[in-house]
Structures are given as C-alpha cells and as structure tokens.
Structure 1
Amino acid sequence: MIRTLPNAPKRLARIAGVLYLLVGIFGGFAVGYVTPMLYVPGDAVATAGNVVANAGLVRISVVADLFQATVLVFLAMTLYLLLTHVHKHVARAMVILVIIATTIMCLDKVFQFAALQVATDSAYTAAFGTAGAQALVLLLLDMHHYGYLIAQIFFGLWLVPLGYLAYRSGMFPRALGVVLIVAGVSYLVDMLAAFLVPDVRTQIRGFLAIPPTIAEIWMLLYLLIKGVNMPTPSSPAADIGGTHVGV
C-alpha cells in the first residue's frame, strides 16, 4: 500500500535515542546492578539477608524497572513512527512484541516485591519460621528470575523486526540491521539454554551477550549522535519529508 513517510525523521530518531538511553540507565540499574546484589541462586540465607540489607534499593529497583518498561513502549511507538513507511505490518509487530515483553516484565516485578515483603515483615517469619521465610524469599526471586527469562523471548523477538526495518530503510547502516537481528536470536538462544541446558548456558552466556551489547549500544549511539541517514534522491526512502513510497 502507499504510505506517507514520517516528518522530521532526525527529530524522531533523537527522541528515540533519549528514550533508549533512559531504558538503558534504569534497566541497567535494576537488572544489572540491584538484582545480582540480591539474588544468590540456591542460597536462601544469603538471598534473604541481601534483600533485608538492601530493602530500599529493592523498592527503587522495582520502580526503575516499571519506569523503563513504560519508556520502552514509548520507544517502540517512536520507532514505529520513524520506520512504518518501510513496512507497516512489520512495524506493528515490533510494537506488539514490545508490549508483550513489558507486560510480562511488569507482572514479574510482583515476585521481587513479594520477596521484599516476606523478608522484611515479621508476620511471615512468625508464620513460616526463619528458615521457611528465607526459603520463600529465594523461591520468589527464583520465579522473578525465570519470569524475566520468559519476557526475554519477546525482548529478543522485537529486535528482529527492528533489525529488518533498519536494514531496509536506508536510514541506518545495513550492518546495524543485521547485528540487531543476530542480537534477537542471541536472546532467544540464551533463554532456551537457561531452561533446557542450564549448565551449558553458564559456559556460553558471555558469548551470547556480545551481539545484544554491540547491537543495542550501536543503535543507541547512532540514534543520539547521527539520528538517521538522510537518503539520496535515488534511494528507496528518498525525500522522507513528503515523498510517498509503496510498501
């Protein structure tokens, strides 16, 4: 069908870059800093003690993750406006996948907050005993961990249409589009390994993290610094401000 290309693509790209940066900052704090500080797989005593000792950080972490999930939806909507002219249905799929991922992630935060409640409320210790309450804290954070891995299915999948759109648009380096797709596949492989072959995952996780790290940092910096490539008149996405392109 015929679509009108979005106006002011550089402005949209910069807005997307700022939103991507916020996702990185708040998500990195919650997932990359606070969660490893709390969660010790298989050790209920240490995990419960970490939650009690860092109760304030847990609360901030929950809010930070909810905030970054909300911002990620707006990021996807902004990228939709920027790239919908390339392929409307693929752009819609990208947004839907982000909404699914963030919905799972927001619901998953209930487990982390419940772990905080159990660890810090004496009523649970009175009901279950100290060891029982500590075991429950670990169970809740185990569920939080695996819930995040389930959300990772869709965090990986959304990068595939994003990579496709970036590759086809002419607004980004084609190599970036390819790396985004590879990053999405890496997320999926990591999730499958976590459930099917957890021992193998511990050996390959570092390698699987390389494509997503490169792809998302590259995309973030490109949006913030370059914005987008302005296509030449002969390119498929030429005259972005007002030209119509068949999709």
Structure 2
Amino acid sequence: MDSDLLVLLAACITLAAAAGCTAGPPVMNVTPGPVLPSPSLSPGLSVIPAPVQSCVTDEDCVPAQCCHPTSCINKVSKGVCDVMCTMNCAGPLDCGAGSCGCVNGTCGIARAGSAAAPVPVPVSLKLEAAPLRYSPVMSSTPGIGLTPNLTGFDVSSTDVEWNTSFGRFLTWSPPDYHVNQQGAFFINHGDKVYWSFSDMPASAGVPVVITVVARDIRTGTILGSSTVTLGWEGNSTVVVRSIL
C-alpha cells in the first residue's frame, strides 16, 4: 500500500473518532406550560365539619382557633393550644367582643350585648280591701276581704304574717266556703284572708290597725309590708280609712 493511501486512511480514522466523542443525544425542544398555583384556603376562611360544632348547652362550646378565634366548636374536638398569641384584638371573640354558645344544637358566636339584661322588678307588698264597709249583719261576706298584692319575690318561699290590734282573721274559700277562725295573728303564703269582729271595742274612737309583713322563709328578711287602718261608724259598722 503506497504512502499516500495510508495517510488518507489515517486522516479518515482520526475524523471519525473525533466525531464520535463530541456527539451527544438528540436535543428535544419542549414548550413550557402554565404554572398552576397550589391549592389553599382564603385568609380567614376555616371549614369546620358539622359534627364538630354539635352541642347541647353553652358550656359545650369553646373557641375553635387558639389565637384570635373566628368560630366555635365542641370542646371535646379542640386540641391543645401551645402557641404564643399576639396581644391585639383581632377576632369576633377577642377582648369580650363575643362568646361561644349553643344555638339550636350548633356552636356559634353570640355577640356581646346582643341580649338585653333583665330589668329587676322592685319588691313590694300592698293590700287590697273589699268591701270598704262591713257589719256583722251582712250575709254576703264574713268580713273585710284582704288580698296581698305581692311583687318581686316568690310567694312559695315567703311567709306572710298577719297581725291585728282588734278583731280576728278568718279564711273562707272554695270549694265548701267554710269559715275558719285564725285568731289575731296568722301566717300564710299570701292567700286572701278576711278580718271580722263579734263585739265592739271598749272605745269606738280607737282605730283598728292591721299589719301585714312578707318575710323570706330561709333568711327571715322582711321583703315588704302594708298597713290597713279601720275606723268605726255607729255601734256595729267598721270602714276602711287608709291602706299604706
């Protein structure tokens, strides 16, 4: 083989080797697609399953979030709060703005001041009398009926004490309307009683004073009182002069 052919063959081998070392895999042209955002909840939005909010009483409900809560859940469903919260008032429950409560079986937020505070009823006792004039010869009534008008306390836990300076008290009520003598001092729970007399006093110029006192059975505290003053007309008639 002549020298020129050998030189040419060597040059071809060298070029082929160089081409094999530098060549790489074919390049693919890829057009990038749109970048999709990762799913997330909007700020302040919390999704709470209905069973977690079920309740029976207000005591069942507590704030759902540890810091600046925006909703309420059943206390059994709440985890342990071990985070530090800022001191600012940011939620509907912060700084006394509202409280958790149970409404129709579901825990919710009750705004502060949404329900008006009950207005206290003043305690009072005032007697009502009828008829205003009485004589033992009257057949329609056994005496002057006295009805205590009680306001602001529970009569079931109250003793009503009756006291008269002259005459006596009677009870006369359905179903049999039997007259029961009770004397000059009598205690009941605020039922109507009657005052009557049989004999005239030593002096018709001395009025009859009837005093009624309502007293708390448990503490003995006087809750109210009322006084009726009776005066005499003639020999056998008494009239109501005043009620205080």
Q: Which has more helix, going by share of residues?
A: 1
Please report the TM-score for the alignment, with normalisation by the length of structure 1: 0.22
Q: Larger Cα Rg: Structure 1 or Structure 2?
A: 2
Q: Which has more strand, going by share of residues?
A: 2
